Amino acid sequence: MSKTQQTINPTTEDVIDTYNLMTWEDAENVIEQTHQAFLGWRETTFQQRAEVLKKVASLIRERQDDYAALMTREMGKTLKQGQQECQLCAAICDFTAEQGPKELADETRDMQGGKALVTYQPQGVIYGIQPWNFPLYQVIRYSAACLMAGNGVLLKHAANVWGMALEVEKLYRDAGLPENTFRTLLIDHDVSDKVIAHKHVRGVSLTGSPGAGRAVAQEAGKALKKTVLELGSNDAYIVLKDADIDQAVKACVQGRVYNTGQTCVAAKRFIIEESVYDQFRDAFVAQMEKVSCGDPTKDDTGMGPMARKDLRDDLHEQVKQSVEAGAKCILGGEIPEGKGYFYPATVLENVAPGQQAYDDELFGPVAALIKVKDEAEAMKVANDSIYGLGGGIFSRDEDRAIRLAREHFDTGMVNINGYQLAQPNLPFGGVKESGYGREHGGFGLHEFVNVKAVMISGSK
């Protein structure tokens, strides 16, 4: 008898659908089909691949209301934010279609005794293991670049968003991608390890926790296969004494509660110089208190529920542990009664090392306030983390903020005087336990290709 997996609406706690998990034999058959499809897809021109991605972008825009509604049902994202996610995905596909042929074009180089060619050739089937928090974007982010490079693509999506997982497969097929070039696998972790080891799978792209990253990298390492890992973080946002406090508060609230705080590059730790600490804290708490938490289908809802009950319960345990270890909860911090996996906008202060709010990732709408005496201590605390994905600096002295971001912030991305999510034309990724490799900005196009040198002797 086959295993089954249910998807649950986090707002109502009702069952949405029940899926049969694939066996290893089922998955192996799909891998073989995708490999065969790759052998044909690799022969297409850059322009043919670009046309498919342009059609994907067009279909996403046409279907954005339906996709947003599916996100709301499966993981609780507000409809407005689901539409914004769709718009970003369409922009990524358009950017990849436009820049791909340029980034992947052959290069000629001088060579003693002749000339050389550097060519970027597809590798084969690339396997993506993706989370639920941005159920369309996480898939488009790696798959568009892989397909533009001529690879075949497999997807193992988080089990609570399998409706979207199947929709993305249909999206690519409807856009004209040859049958089986992109396939979704409805599998568990045991089958996933076998997928990584399969001879036709040439690389793995994972977005997830550091624990998941270690496990996947270990399995891929056994088979000597490249990985790109985009993992967790506890991004620090520094408020210097010369900051525009109103601007900083607005951006920091947005950065903490967007997508109900379930974002790897969310603002999580707020490091404030002591001379403006009270001013920032009072204004920040006042704005966090105004964030509405409720039905994600309503236009005036600021936050929907968290995606799963276990995620909410884990977050609440982190809050309780932090308070027991000396933090002070000055807003929120209680699970509301009633249906739905809701958690209120929460603010902790007196946050210090040894508390989970300081050391770990709070993947939900909980802000950690940390007071420091000056800029030097602010940078030290910001970098006092096992993570290094994103972060931010608020200062009226833009040149000073840029210098700190360039030379001292030990992360892959830094915001200055604002909060921005991923941009199609900029690299996305981190350092330390936030992972390695880059996506977007043309960089992702080179992650899963064979950079091949062709040396031609005697040629001029």
* Residue positions annotated with a catalytic role: 230, 264
d(C-alpha 332, C-alpha 345), whole Å: 6
SS (H, E, C) 353-377: CCCHHHHCCCCCCEEEEEEECCHHH
d(C-alpha 232, C-alpha 455), whole Å: 42
Q: How many CB atoms lie within 10 A of CB 318?
A: 20
Token pair in block for residue 321: 């542990």
Q: Which residues have C-beta within 8 Å of that of residue 432, sequence separation ≥ 6?
A: 385, 386, 387, 388, 410
Reference 57, options 83, 95, 99; nearest CA is 95
Q: How many CB atoms lie within 10 A of CB 60?
A: 25
Q: Are 355 and 255 in contact (CB under 8 A)?
A: no
d(C-alpha 325, C-alpha 123), whole Å: 50
Distance of CA 419 to the CA centre of its chain: 15
d(C-alpha 322, C-alpha 431), whole Å: 26
